[in-house]
Amino acid sequence: MTQRLHLVFGGELVDPTKSEFKNMDDIHIVGMFPNYETAYNAWKSEAQRTVDNAHMRYFIAHLHRLRDEETDASSTEELG
């Protein structure tokens, strides 16, 4: 079975209508999760915990979409 990794992270935004973080050093990494369901539950928990701050946002990044195992490695991966 293929693993579908998800990263949940968040922080305070400069403007709540955009996705620019106010301070990159303060980004909260909630964690990495093996499927969308557990990532969503973690995201929801953090979003509810910070609901009183309109500038706080949490996101789910679909890490499995960033890498296609069927495609040859990029030139930067080959440097490793």
**Is residue 73 assigned to a domain?**
no
pLDDT tens for 52-69 read 999 999 999 998 777 666
Q: Which two tokens stand for residue 25?
A: 């050093």
* Under 8 Å between Cβ of 6 and 60: yes
Domain span holding position 30: 6-68
How many domains would you assign to the chain?
1
CATH of the domain at 23: 3.30.70.2400
pLDDT band at 79 (very low <50, low <70, confident <90, very high): very low
| Residue 79 is assigned to a structural domain of this protein | no
Would you say residue 77 lies in a domain? no
- Residue 47: inside a domain, yes or no? yes
Examine residue 80 and state whether it is found in any structural domain, yes or no: no
